[in-house]
Structure 1
Amino acid sequence: MQRSDGICLVILAALAVASPLRAERVVHAPVPTVDAKPNQALETAVFAGGCYWGVEGVFSHVNGVHLVKSGFAGGPKGRKVDYEAVSAGDTGYAESVRVTYDPRIVSYGTLLRVFFSVIADPTTLDYQGPDHGTQYRSALFPLNAQQQQAASAYLAQLGKSDLWRGPIVTKIERFTGFQDAAAGHQNFMTRNPRHPYIQRWDAPKLAAFKAMYPALYRARPSA
């Protein structure tokens, strides 16, 4: 996928002719056997799962989620980055989202389940859908010991589930900080529902989430 000026630009017909895109699939990921115990009224979780527009777009419709921010995580601590720098693929950072949620309504384990059901394929190394490069890898960034334990247990659980043909390659990475993306990238799906990338890749994820988890779905997205 070619991206410039802070906007995802997809020439779908040309891409289809030049290089057929792997169709994304959704799965009914299992209920986690290990979950994180809440430490406070509002918790924060950080995920990387390809282009952050769709990751943010789905999580913003999860009941119990208060706020989702698109940004960057996974690179060296202290280095300042922006969209253009991360897009080069050599910073170590990945497009990510920071989710603020109420653990009394939705748990960290449930967020993991949603993530792997409809957002990210855990078997694709350094790519998701049409987006290739380490900046589009899938990764989990636990922020405390409880999240670390839950994330490790869930990846092991997914590896034994036989839901995917390939091995699980999603990694648990050390959290070194989160940097917000520019304002033009925030709430992108909500503000740009007719964008061709959104319609082709991200709207189906949101529709799948609504169909698979109606009790978790909230029509009005978080701010």
Structure 2
Amino acid sequence: MNRILIAVAALALACWSLVDSGWAADKAVKLPPPTQDLHGMAGTETAVFAGGCFWGVQAVFQHTRGVLNAVSGYAGGDKSSAHYEQVGSGRTGHAESVQVTYDPGQVSFGTLLQVYFSVAHDPTTLNRQGPDAGPQYRSAVFYRDAEQKRVTESYIAQLNAAKVFPARIVTEVRPLTGFYPAEAYHQDYATLHPGSPYIA
């Protein structure tokens, strides 16, 4: 139990509020919708996004209409190293990520990208979000198939061409080789700790 409390305290220090770091709501950017998107799918789909501390990213997608579930976890590395203490070293290849399960009849993949780039994080900072630094906090979209890759790359090109951000987008677009849910104490953190000063 003490180990879990120490880990939570360490994570709280690492996951500083984006508000405190200057990426406040007044700096959020109003983005155009993607010119390319995925439509006409039935059932449920999943997408995996990384953008700094997963607590805030999970909270954003949990409040997005059409999202059925959002899970904090790790993507980009091996299953054997998908543990918070190891990921925190920045040497595992993992990024703190969120797997989003959604109903494409209610929300499209392109709309999820629009949310991700506009309010979930700052996509123009390399390997950091606010004071959280290291490759585990990088901006990345882990695509599940060629269509997700196509729409993501197209939207990044569209946003860069429109110069909606003061700098170029540095978001990685990489194939998803595996998603590994984070430890239980990371799940639904913003919901369970609404007064936490570490989450925007």
**TM-score w.r.t. structure 1 length?**
0.79
Contact 1:50 1:135 in 2 (8 A): yes
Q: Secondary structure at the match of 1:47?
A: strand
Q: How far apart are the structure 2 equivalents of 1:172 and 1:116? A: 13
Match of residue 151 from structure 1:
152
Residue pair 1:10, 1:196 contacting (<8 A) in 2 also: no
Per-residue deviation at 1:6?
A: 3.3
Aligned to 2:174: 173
How many Å separate the matches in 1 of 2:151 and 2:162?
A: 16
One-letter amino acid of the structure 2 residue matched with residue 9 of structure 1: A
In 1, the alpha carbon distance for the partners of 2:40 and 2:29 equals 27
Mapped pair 1:164 → 2:162: no
How is 1:50-65 mapped onto 2 (pairs within 5 angstroms)? 50-65=52-67
1:69-108 matched pairs, under 5 angstroms: 69-76=71-78, 78-108=79-109
Alignment RMSD, CA only? Answer: 2.0
Sequence identity percentage: 47
Equivalent position amino acid for 1:41 in 2: G
1:31 paired to 2:33: yes
Per-residue CA shift, 1:124-160, capped at 9, x if unaligned?
A: 0001122110000000011112211110100101111
| 3-state secondary structure, aligned to 1:135 | helix
- Aligned-pair CA distance for 1:37: 3.2
Residue in structure 2 matched with residue 213 of structure 1 by the alignment: none
Looking at structure 2, the residues matched to 29 and 121 of structure 1 have their Cα atoms a distance apart, in angstroms, of 13
Contact 2:74 2:182 in 1 (8 A): yes
Matched, 1:67 2:66: no
Give the conservation status (yes or no) of the 8 Å contact 2:84–2:182. Answer: yes
**Count of aligned pairs between the two proteins:** 189
2: distance between equivalents of 1:51 and 1:106?
24
- What TM-score, normalized by structure 2, do the two folds share? 0.88
What is the CA distance between 1:39 and its match in structure 2? 3.9
Task: Note the alpha carbon deviations across 1:164-206, whole angstroms, 9 max, x for none.
Answer: 11111111012110000011100000000111212xxx2xxxx
Aligned structure 1 segments of 4 or more residues deviating by more than 3 angstroms: 37-40
Q: 5+ residue gaps in structure 2?
A: none
Q: Structure 1 68/188 Cα, relative in aligned 2: closer, same or farther at 3 Å?
A: same
